[in-house]
Structure 1
């Protein structure tokens, strides 16, 4: 029997998306769990897996098609039991669902030896994702010699790269790198309204780069944030010497466990504690109401090759520094591999963005609604500083809090910055 593959809803609020890339072609045989396509929403780009087994007989929506509504038939699978006799069902045309291209050409007859089928010498089929098979074919790698680490021993991209010694993804193409499936600062799925801005390149050498849904959403949401959210910025200079000394001592004791605390780990804990001690800043503005959070979940900005993603340290105030360090390292690594789940980067009650490692002395971050504050961390540097009423040299950083003035008064924001400064300058409170 024919099986219709429909545009999935990858989040509760998703209404439409972009079919960014097909990972199969007409005639390929797929099994449950095989990767079929990359679907891009304004929250993320995620891989879509097959649920049924059979042969792909029709791809009804072309790669790169925008605005594909949830529930639209995007492909037809012919069940393996009757692929030789049954004809695929006609699918409703999708020309009205997407602005480009309306339809693909009629499907060719299924091939008798699809690329997706690979066998051991014993005749058993090798389980591998289409992406892994494509990389193996391009690299001349025999899948029969690879042990899979995916579900049920399935060979995935990382297995092929490890076997071939590549150790990294191929150079990025014009389509999004499949290794970076999930990334966004967005927290809703409202369609992009566009800016109405037209820019001409003129005679300057250039290329036109299509924006991903994620980039469109970031542009729209941050524009809305600056236009609709009245930002107030409060900056404090924070002396780091005591924190750096404590960090060195803690790392010496944690070294046998393979844990190395970063300054950022300690600042995340400090912000979590500060939000609990200054609860009027641990809020979200919601029109006629305000959400008051009793737990501090800190969104941490992490740079990945194609943008930013914000994995969340939940309940940061009540986690040990070693736990925060281990969790952040694991989240950041999986973020760069595109393996985060949506609940790991959507939400949070406040954010922290540290650009100190890039030498940025001070900056003012844009609030990411519905959160009502974000802490911007600058570089620690040697500065003239008054210590015990005498001029001395100290390691000092500038931290700037951006606050939604609809929800947070200046005095309350100042209280949070004061508590944050005290926790960093007297850091034993971070380990108490």
Structure 2
């Protein structure tokens, strides 16, 4: 039976993506779970895995071609089924034909997709540079830049010069990883004068695709999910001492954030009713604790998910978080690593922020905002004043899933783990 493969929505709110490279060819046998393509969006390059098994009958989208989410990009056939039969059975367009389910949109480039050896295109195509010298006419040869549609868009948004970049993509095409560390082309911004009433001058910074996606996602969350907030002030002297001892005796170095994520997992294990999300038909409770960790990346953030936190040794958890963060910043995160989970952790303590409230990351029912640990005067058990290291955390909760009492029960369990950190390791 023929199966249609469609362009996935790699990140919420992303309407267009591009195939950076195909990892299979027509005629290859694939199995469910096998990576078949690297897909590039405004946020990342991720490996896309086949959801079904079969034989590749057709690849309908060229490498580097910007394609609307939901469009047909490939067809899998059954063993022994001809390519023509599989394509016809799936109702997909023949290779080379424009997909009928790929309408143009404001986010999708109007120019044709780049082929391995693009032909000269009309004036205004970002792949063709301006004439090499002033006064050249239309017949003068031009320098040409081969880049994915996403790279061309990012170059325009960031004012990057691509002329000296050597691409590492197929056939030398410039892909996202080639421009990650490029600095904008030096140019003095031209302030726009304010109104005649004496308003100050200003400069407009165009929105990137990632900023638009984040704006849509968070606006939707704040407008449709009933947030409420609980705050706890945790004494972390014992936690910091435990970290010191671990790092002094183990080759794997753990961070305070690693211990916080482990404590979140332990609290969700102890209060399983909080390990849930809202769906249209039911509250879905999970048996495994999968936690998303917010990672700051160029121009925004990603939230890769750590799975089975409650079962992981602390060293393994630390290594996993570090690996996910490094690949997220390098644009090499995988699609499945951005999906799932019931809870998020956002830590701004390393920036010196002492307290903040985070917006929920749907469909997660909770997100814990972690502030910096600071020494403060506290009242001891005997009524005396002493100095302690305190860390403020704020739980943002989805009231559809977590009632106040349940959220308070979970936060108390988390605080207990943090203040008695040996229980995190049990």
TM-score, normalised to structure 2's length?
Answer: 0.64
Contact residue 95 and residue 103 of structure 1 kept, 8 A: no
Structure 2: distance between partners of 1:291 and 1:36? 31
> Which residue matches 2:248?
252
Aligned to 1:408: 402
State whether structure 2 residue 214 is matched by structure 1 residue 218.
Answer: yes
How has the CA–CA distance of structure 1 residues 38 and 396 changed in structure 2, closer, same or farther, with 3 Å as cutoff?
same
**CA deviation after TM superposition for structure 1 residue 250, in Å:** 1.0
CA contact (8 A) 1:68 1:98 kept: no
Name the structure 2 match of 1:243: 239
Deviations 1:168-207, CA, capped at 9 Å, x for gaps: 732268xxxxxxxxxxxxxxxxxxxxxxxxxx99563323
CA displacement at 1:13 relative to structure 2? 11
Shift of the alpha carbon at 1:320?
1.2
Counterparts of residues 109-124 of structure 1 (less than 5 Å): none
Q: How far apart, CA to CA, are the structure 1 residues paired with 2:325 and 2:116?
A: 43
Corresponding pairs, count: 333
CA distance in 1, matches of 2:114, 2:235: 68
Determine the structure 2 residue equivalent to 1:420.
Answer: 414
Q: 2:182 aligns with which of 157, 162, 170?
A: 170
Q: Is 1:94–1:102's contact at 8 Å kept on the other side of the alignment?
A: no
SS in structure 2 opposite 1:295?
Answer: coil
Matched, 1:138 2:164: yes
1:156 CA displacement: 11
Q: CA RMSD in A?
A: 4.9
Distance in 2, matches of 1:105 and 1:155, equals 16
- With over 3 angstroms needed to count, the CA separation of the structure-2 counterparts of 1:353 and 1:94, relative to structure 1, is same
Contact 2:47–2:333 (Cα < 8 Å) also in 1: no
CA change 1:13–1:428 in 2 (3 A) is closer
- Give how far 1:370 is off: 1.0
CA contact (8 A) 1:60 1:104 kept: no
Cα offset for 1:375?
A: 0.6
In 1, the alpha carbon distance for the partners of 2:116 and 2:324 equals 43
Alignment deviations for residues 99-149 of structure 1 (CA, whole Å, 9 cap, x no partner): 4664559999978xxxxxxxxxxxxxxxxx989xxx9993789x9xxxxxx
For residues 366-408 of structure 1, give each alpha carbon's deviation from its aligned partner in whole angstroms, at most 9, with x where no partner exists: 1111110111101100111122232111000111111111111
**Residue from 315, 330, 338 that aligns with 1:337:** 330
TM-aligned CA distance change 1:427 to 1:70, over 3 Å = same
Secondary structure, counterpart of 1:379 in structure 2? strand
Give 1:247 deviation, angstroms.
0.8
203, 218, 228: which one aligns with 1:206: 203
Of 390, 393, 406, which aligns to 1:399?
Answer: 393
What CA deviation, in whole Å up to 9, does each residue of 1:288-337 have, x standing for no partner?
41001111111001111221111222111121111111111111111111
- Contact 1:39–1:46, Cα closer than 8 Å, also in 2: yes
CA distance in 2, matches of 1:109, 1:420: 57
- TM-score, length basis structure 1: 0.63
